[in-house]
Amino acid sequence: MRFQDRVAIVTGAASGMGLLSAQQLAEEGAKVVLTDVNREAAEAAAAGIRETGGQAIGVEVDVRCYEQIEGAVAKAVETFGSVDILINCAGGCSSRVFKRPEPFHELPIEVIQWGMDVNFKGPVLFARAVLGQMIKQQRGVIINLGSVEGVTGTKAVDYGSSKTGMMGLTKCLAVYGAEHGVRSCCVSPGPVLTRPGMANMWTRMGRAAEPWEVTKLILYLCSDDAAFISGSNHTIDGARSVGVRDK
Ligand SMILES: NC(=O)c1ccc[n+]([C@@H]2O[C@H](COP(=O)([O-])OP(=O)(O)OC[C@H]3O[C@@H](n4cnc5c(N)ncnc54)[C@H](O)[C@@H]3O)[C@@H](O)[C@H]2O)c1
């Protein structure tokens, strides 16, 4: 029960690693605010946690909308009394989400804009929204989901560069928050089996990660066991990003 009496906000919590992180935090005692642009799915996921004895609420938040972000932070404080953890998990590769096969230089601007807004601007705005409360408490952790593609670079330019930005955001938040007891870490996964297609992505280990392998790292970084870890990026990619690929 590492998170007893802690309050966590998770973005993109209706599916994948956001959902699993929220469920696992609740299993370890956290009160969880599941936010997602998909209101029904966020509420259903929160109801599922409550059915198993956990404490959770679902709130509709499009991370591109600061008003909704602020509303969710206020709701967390009003319902559970604090905000101790933020996991910026909402995101995705724009060309995949919008099923656009063309190369970056031919993508519609709206698709590129979505990629940058959801993968980078949203997390910056969400951090802005929780920091006041975390500084008041003199305690907090902000975890940002990057990607191995933000480490290596990728032809998915808006996605990869936004994910590189998550490492920068993490460093800035670590500098900004340290004197207030606020930490920040970035987790940059390689392919994760939140959808079947990820199994086809190359890693040196010859497989993609199970979602729990990544959420276990996320929860560790949220916990007091990681009290001296801040500003760092944690690549978890089956050695995809290291060495020279000679075949
Ligand atoms: N799955 C992978 O292989 C992988 C690899 C590297 C990095 N990541 C990153 O990890 C994070 C989670 O990935 P996943 O595969 O578990 O996610 P997922 O695709 O299963 O879920 C993403 C969630 O974000 C929500 N979302 C989309 N747009 C939103 C918006 N504007 N506002 C709020 N919520 C929104 C979706 O509704 C969805 O519930 C993402 O940031 C992703 O880029 C994933």
Give a three-class secondary structure readout of 149-198: HHHHCCCCHHHHHHHHHHHHHHHHHHHHHHHHCEEEEEEEECCECCCHHH
Q: What is the pTM of this model?
A: 0.98
- pLDDT for 211: 98
172, part of any domain: yes
pLDDT, tens only, 66-100 = 999 999 999 999 999 999 999 999 999 999 999 99
Nearest ligand 1 atom, CA 88: 41
How far is the C-alpha of 84 from the C-alpha of 70, rounded, in Å? Answer: 15
Q: Read off the pLDDT of each residue in 187-203 and give the average, rounded to a whole number.
A: 96
Task: Among 194, 203, 234, say which to mutate for ligand 1: greatest number of ligand atoms within 8 Å of CB.
Answer: 194
- pLDDT for 187: 99
Which pLDDT band, with edges at 50, 70 and 90, does 245 fall under?
confident
Query: Is the confidence at residue 159, as pLDDT, over 80?
Result: yes
247, part of any domain: no
- Give me the active site residues, please: 159
Query: Is the confidence at residue 246, as pLDDT, over 80?
Result: no
245, part of any domain: no
- pLDDT for 93: 97
Measure CA 139 to chain center.
19
Q: What is the CA radius of gyration of the chain?
A: 17
pLDDT, tens only, 33-54 = 999 999 999 999 999 999 999 9
**What order of strands is seen across the sheet that includes strand 233-236?**
55-60, 31-36, 7-10, 85-88, 140-145, 182-189, 233-236
Tell me which residues have their CB closer than 6 angstroms to ligand 1: 11-12, 14-18, 36-38, 61-64, 89-92, 118, 145, 147, 189, 191-192, 194, 198
Residue 138: which CATH number?
A: 3.40.50.720
243, part of any domain: no
**How buried is 91 (Cβ within 10 angstroms: 0-12 exposed, 13-18 middle, 19+ buried)?**
buried
Query: Is the confidence at residue 57, as pLDDT, over 70?
Result: yes
Measure CA 235 to chain center.
14
- pLDDT for 54: 98
Contact 79, 214 (CB under 8 A): no
User: What separation in Å is there between the alpha carbon of 134 and the centre of ligand 1?
Assistant: 25
147, part of any domain: yes
Residue 107, both tokens = 């993508």
244, part of any domain: no
Alpha-carbon distance values, 244 to 74, 164, 192, 198, 235 (Å): 48, 21, 22, 22, 17
Residue nearest to atom 8 of ligand 1 (CA): 147
How far is the C-alpha of 232 from the C-alpha of 171, rounded, in Å? Answer: 7
205, part of any domain: yes
How far is the C-alpha of 170 from the C-alpha of 144, rounded, in Å? Answer: 7
Q: Among 164, 173, 161, 179, which residue's Cα sits nearest to residue 221?
A: 173
Number of domains in the chain: 1
Residue 11, both tokens = 């973005």
- pLDDT for 131: 98
- pLDDT for 247: 61
- Name beta bridge partners: 185: 143
Q: Read off the pLDDT of each residue in 161-183 and give the average, rounded to a whole number.
A: 98
Residue positions counted in the chain: 247
Domain hosting residue 205, numbered range: 7-236
pLDDT, tens only, 117-137 = 999 999 999 999 999 999 999
How far is the C-alpha of 237 from the C-alpha of 203, rounded, in Å? Answer: 7
58, part of any domain: yes
How far is the C-alpha of 136 from the C-alpha of 67, rounded, in Å? Answer: 21
